[in-house]
Amino acid sequence: MAVSEDRRLEHRWPAEKVESAHRATATEPNGNGLRQLADSDLLVLISRRDLRALEVIYDRHIEGAWRVALTYSDDVPVAERAVEAAFLRLWRQPEPGARASLAARLLSSVKREARARSLDPGGKGVVEAPEGLSA
């Protein structure tokens, strides 16, 4: 369920913390400042199209995503496409004001994708990465 735009605008984000992490990463190629932020703060940055924030989220949650995908699909390419689709969905619709935790939403998305793709592996086609994000 998508969070309404009104709800996202109502929520007050710790802008000072997010902005200081952005300043810290301006000179750091590895983005260590972002690694200190909570998932909810990183979602705000993802909603602003910050690819480095998505990379941090990916690093934090890829193991769990793979575990879930392989639980619901024994086919590695199908599991891979399910994980890819879930992270692309997060990039396209970060929903920073959502009530559920990022981990819960992401793993639920992986589960749905893996189950659907296991039932019909060819039915969903190839997921294309949006501009600025390589697959």
Q: What is the pLDDT of residue 95?
A: 87
Q: What pLDDT, in 10s, does the model give residues 85-99? A: 999 999 999 988 888
What are the CA-CA distances from residue 101 to residues 29, 66, 96, 116 (Å)? 28, 18, 10, 23
| CATH topology for the 14-119 domain | Rna Polymerase Sigma Factor; Chain: A (1.10.1740)
Q: pLDDT digit of tens for each residue in the chain (135 aa)?
A: 344 444 333 434 444 544 554 455 444 445 568 999 999 999 999 999 999 999 999 999 999 999 999 999 888 999 999 999 999 999 999 988 888 899 999 999 999 999 988 876 554 544 445 555 554
Q: What is the pLDDT of residue 74?
A: 85
Domain ranges, ordered by start, for the chain = 14-119
Q: What is the pLDDT of residue 33?
A: 86
DSSP string, 61-127: HHHHHHHHHHHH-S-HHHHHHHHHHHHHHHHH---TT-SS-HHHHHHHHHHHHHHHHHHSTTTS-PP
Q: What is the pLDDT of residue 11?
A: 39
Q: Which of 66, 64, 60, 23 is nearest to 40 (CA)?
A: 60
pTM of the prediction?
0.66
Q: What is the pLDDT of residue 10?
A: 41
Q: What is the pLDDT of residue 118?
A: 81
Place of tokens 């819960």: 104
DSSP string, 6-39: HHHHHSPP-HHHHHHHHHHHHS-TT-HHHHTS-H
Q: Quote the radius of gyration of the chain (alpha carbons, Å).
A: 16
Q: What is the pLDDT of residue 131?
A: 56
